[in-house]
Amino acid sequence: MSAAMEAVLAYKQMPADVIRPIMQLIDWLLWCVLLFCMAWMILAAGRLWYAFRDDLAANDATHGVVMSLLGAIMASSASGIALALLPS
């Protein structure tokens, strides 16, 4: 049983030359996603302002604001989890 445990736990860690570009790619992807979410938030807020100005009761502008916030939260959480799983 001990040999089976050692076989499961025995793995090679990736070298720093491999991890560094992966972490940099994750950082760049996070910046791109957050930039997209920020642009979407600005557009959705403008649509929301326009809808409230015209007194339209039924609009989907609030949906864009909420989805932009959820997308930013999910991207930040996913990159944090990925960076935590990669050995440093």
User: Per-residue confidence at 59, pLDDT binned at 50, 70, 90?
Assistant: low
Percentage above 70 pLDDT, the chain: 77
pLDDT digit string, tens, across residues 9-48: 556 777 778 888 888 888 898 899 989 999 999 998 888 8
Q: Which residue has the tokens 């720093």?
A: 16
The Cα–Cα gap between 49 and 43 comes to 10
Q: Which residues contact 4 (CB under 8 A, 6 or more apart)?
A: none
Q: Which residues contact 22 (CB under 8 A, 6 or more apart)?
A: 86
